[in-house]
Amino acid sequence: MGIRQLRTLIEISETGSFQAAAEKLGLTHSAISMQIKSLEDELQTELFDRTRRPPDLNPTGLRLLGKAQEIINLYDSLSEAGSKAGDLSGLLRLGAIPSATSSFLPEVLARLGQEHPRLHVRLESGLSTELTRELIQGKLDCIIITEVQRLDEALKSTKLREERLVVIAQKNIENEKIAKTKDGDIALLSQLPFVRFNHLTGVGRVIEQSLKNRGANLREAMELDSLEAIQRMVAKGLGAAIVPENSLENRTNLLVRPFGKPSSTRIVSLVEKHRGQRPDLTGILATTLKEVLST
């Protein structure tokens, strides 16, 4: 059993097929198949359900996948131990919510690339719930998400920043009048169709709890996964919404008001396992994140 075979197994899982893994690794489909067949022969068990197209990992394959990732991480750690001090190398699998990838993460990744050229970051964008699940399953090393009240006991978090929540509506004379009334934020939300951010996401749950605390009775018009899409819908006069203020890249045609007094907030955190395989890599990421967000 070799490192190359285990890396191939992981690549098939991440890309979804033998062909996609072959293209990413620069190999032929037959070479990938031979590596997996050799691994199955050595283990004396099948790892894929070949009745499906494309073949999927079977329960045995899924169990091996987690162990394979642990072995790869340990192997990369040994390689890192042989490098000169401060010269980090290896693969960091990072997951992040879309608002992070479109705001501060580009600067963070650019700095990491300049300071640690042998460090490779594989970035996956997704919702907080999805990323948390992949972190627990060992598919990611760390994630940047909206922190919720309860984290899995195997995880730990580092607060990165606190973002103010705001109510947005189309900027017009009528909405400006509503916003100036008592509890103008709730008035806007009550009198206009409510464009909700997916209530199953981290920020969606924060918003839902804040609305419950204030006893708001809203007329829901749509529920979306994209903060950018919500902003565009609102700018076209299709309703009002609650979003993190930092997500507003363009305020043209938008009326923006704080949500609550004091304003409700969401916390964006870096989350990893207590016993992660690459604490050296997640540690330097945390340091760089704090440096960028403090400027």
Q: What is the pLDDT of residues 162-178, one digit of tens each?
A: 999 999 999 999 999 99
Q: What's the rounded Cα separation, in Å, for the pair 143 and 286?
A: 11
Q: The tokens of 169 are what? A: 């509506």
Give the per-residue pLDDT at 147. 82
pLDDT band per the 50, 70, 90 thresholds, residue 85: very low
* pLDDT at 227 exceeding the cut of 70: yes
Q: What's the rounded Cα separation, in Å, for the pair 39 and 209?
A: 49
State the CB neighbour count (10 A cutoff) for residue 50.
11
Give the per-residue pLDDT at 82. 54
Give the per-residue pLDDT at 240. 96
What are residue 268's DSSP bridge partners? 146, 161
pTM for this prediction: 0.67
Give the per-residue pLDDT at 86. 54
Give the per-residue pLDDT at 70. 84
Q: What is the CB-side half-sphere exposure of residue 36 using CA atoms within 13 A? A: 28
Nearest to 259 by CA among 198, 210, 196: 210
| Domains of the chain with CATH codes | 1-82 (1.10.10.10), 162-267 (3.40.190.10)
* pLDDT at 47 exceeding the cut of 60: yes
- Between these two residues, 243 and 78, which has the higher pLDDT value? 243
Length of the chain measured in residues: 295
Q: What's the rounded Cα separation, in Å, for the pair 45 and 289?
A: 44
Q: What's the rounded Cα separation, in Å, for the pair 142 and 156?
A: 10
* 8 Å CB contact between 295 and 107: no
Give the per-residue pLDDT at 139. 87
